[in-house]
Amino acid sequence: MHGYGVLHLVLDLLGTFAFALNGALTATRVARLDIVGVLALAMVTALGGGVLRDVLAGALPPATFSDWRYLAVAVAGGMVTFLLWRHLERYRTLIMVFDAAGLSLFAVTGATTALEYHIGAPQAVLLGVVTGVGGGTLRDVLVLRLPTVLYADLYAIPALLGAGITVACERTGVYGVPAALGAAVACFTLRMIGDHYGLNAPGPHRADGIAPSDGSSRDAAS
């Protein structure tokens, strides 16, 4: 890591672990995969967004391949879920909480990585969103599910909020632990509110009065 040092690394590893738990819970609860499938989905979910972030920002090789801690944390999250899945899978809220936590932390680290590599502010916000939703999108594709970002309960918008706050704080010279945590909390809170109240971004008006299908069962959404 460079300018953002320890703070960036800690947030990144926390996001990796949260998304690993989410991916593994999806594997056990939705897809009913074996241990290989659980670990694979945990790693894809946990590492996919970070790899996309680093490649797009020009941070090569991606942190996943240059720092053993990322892979170790992803595997640990997958194994914890595999061993405890009978106790965890009954709680749908856990999947949502881990997904929202990963989304929030990665939105912040995606934006900070972009700024670290001197990418413009609008592009940094966009990269924060891509980082936040990337792993979850790959997860959904692998389990043959419409990606959550395309339909569900305010997904990209919370990431946009978290990344936007991060960039605004950095540009005004106040970025640090409180600002990073505040941006992550704002993203997390909006995501959870959206899920709790079933809020969605505006969709196309249907003349027949039939609401567009989300293409996926609600209880499987992360």
pLDDT of amino acid 5: 74
* Matching residue, tokens 């899978």: 89
3-state helix/strand/coil string of 75-89: HHHHHHHHHHHHHHC
Smallest Cα–Cα separation from 131: which of 98, 162, 106?
Answer: 106
Residues 21-32 pLDDT 10s: 989 988 888 778
Determine the average pLDDT of the residues in 84-113. Answer: 84
pLDDT of amino acid 222: 39
Model's pTM, two decimal places? 0.84
Q: pLDDT averaged over the chain?
A: 85
Residues 63-75 pLDDT 10s: 899 999 999 999 9
Residues 31-58 pLDDT 10s: 788 999 999 999 999 999 999 999 999 8
pLDDT of amino acid 193: 92
Which tokens hold the place of 10? 């800690």
Distances (CA, A) of 50 to 20, 189, 205: 12, 22, 35
Give me the amino acid identity at 207.
Answer: A
